[in-house]
Amino acid sequence: MNMNQFLRRAFLPIIIVVSLTTGFFGGFLYERSREPVPILKNLVNKDVGQPGDLDFSLFWSVWDLLHERYVDRTELDTQKLLYSAIDGLVRGVGDPFTSFLEPKESEDFAREIQGSFGGVGIEIGIRDEILTVITPIVDTPAEKAGILAGDKIIKIGDKSTEGMGLDEAVNLIRGPKGTEVVLTMFREGLKEPREFKLIRSDIRIPTVKLEIKDGVAHLRLYVFNKNTDADFEKISKEILNSGAKGIVFDLRNNPGGLLDSAVNIAGYFLEPGSVVLNERFGNGSENVFKASGSARLKNLPVVVLINRGSASASEIVAGAMRDIRGVKLIGEKSFGKGSVQQVEDLRGGSSLKVTIAKWFTPSGASIDKNGIEPDIVVERTEEDIKAQKDPQLDRAINLLITN
C-alpha cells in the first residue's frame, strides 16, 4: 500500500453518530479494492492434530446438519447464513472497530464517510463491552438534551444494546430528519437509567473558536476535518495579533478527524521535524509522522485541556505536545482510540472494516485502550455544566497567568 493511499485516511472518530454516525474519525483508511476476490472452489481439511492447522470440516458438518435436520429447512436463507458465519468470525477477533458489513450496511457506511447523513450529534464507541458516548457534538440535539461523555447506552428505542456492535447501533440511532429516537442511558453516580428523547436533525460540526480571557487565548478545536487547517491558519494570526500571553488549547470532546490535519495542527506548536506520532502495523513495519509548517505558535506558553470525549486525533496532538514540548495536560483521562481501520470491498457489495495499525506517542506510549492521563486532574461535574462553571478552564488560565 503506497503513501498516497495512506494519506486518504481519517481517524474515524470511533464512530460519530452524528448520527454523526461516523466519526470518531478514529482512523480510517477507506479504499475500494479493485482486484476481484478469488472464488474458493475447494477446501482441504487438514489431518486432526497437525500443528498450526484448522479442521474446517466442522463448519461444513454444522452447515449440512442444519440443512438436513432443521425443522423449517426449506426456509433457510443460505446467503443470510453465510453472512452470519462471516460476522461471527469477525466478531471473534474481539476488536470493536473490526467488523463485517453486509451490502446495505456497506452502502450506508460509504455514504456516511462522505458526510451525507444526519442524526442526533453523538459519537459512540465500545468501552469494556458497553456501548458508550464518546462525546456529544456541540450545539446538537444530544448536547442540548444533556447527554455527557461517558454515558452508557443500554437501550436504543426498545432494543437492548447488550452484545450490540457499533454498526448496528449507528443504524438504529440514525434516521430521517425530524423523527424521534429514544436512548436509555446509565450515568455513573445515578441510581436509575435515564431516557433521552431526541429529534434527529442535520448535524453541522464547527471547527474552531477563539476567545480572549484575562489576556489568555482560549482556543477550542472541535474536530479535525477538511476545513480545520484553513480555519486554524486564520485563528493563529488572530492570536498573535491579540497580544495574548498564552494559549489554552481546548481539545475536550474533540472526537478526532483527519490524520493529515492532526499532524498539520501540531506543526503550529512544534519545531519542524518533530515527531508527532508513530504508526505501527501487525507485520512490524512503522510510519513516522513529523511536524512541518510555520511553527507560528511555538514560542507562546500553552496548556492543553482534555477529557473523556477527547479521542483519536486529539489524543495524538495532546500526546505529542506533552512529549516534545513538555506542555501540561489538564482535565480528565482521554478516551483511548488509537488505531487505524481500513475498509476493503468484497464480492456482492459487502465489505470488511479491519484494524490494521495502532498509534503511539513520540515517547512510545500506546494510545489505544489506554488513553492519556492528564498531568493535573480536574473534573467538571454535571452540576458544574448546569451552573455554567468550568473549573478545568479556570485552572488552565490560572496556570498560565501565574507562571
* Sheet strands (E) in 3-151: 10-12, 15-17, 25-30, 99-101, 122-127, 130-136
Identify whether 337 is a catalytic site residue: yes
b/e sequence 351-378, b meaning 16+ C-beta within 10 Å: bbbbbbbbbbbbeeebbbeebbebeeeb
Grid cell at residue 166: 457499533
Cα–Cα dist 343/199, whole Å: 31
Helix (H) or strand (E) holding 330, with range, is: strand 328-331
Query: What are the helix (H) ranges across 114-184?
Result: 141-145, 166-173
Grid cell at residue 203: 448535524
Residue of 155, 337, 353, 358 marked active site:
337
Cα–Cα dist 338/370, whole Å: 9
List CB contacts of 36: < 8 A, sequence separation 6 or more. Answer: 347
Q: How far is CA 371 from CA 130, 308, 316, 335, 364, in A?
A: 17, 9, 10, 5, 13
Identify whether 242 is a catalytic site residue: no
Residue of 310, 312, 334, 351 marked active site:
312
> Cell 488549547 identifies what position?
249
Cα–Cα dist 17/121, whole Å: 6
Among candidates 403, 373, 402, 390, which has minimal Cα distance to 250?
390
Identify whether 323 is a catalytic site residue: yes
Q: What is the DSSP letter of 102?
A: -
Residue of 108, 151, 250, 323 marked active site:
323
Catalytic sites, residue numbers: 312, 323, 337
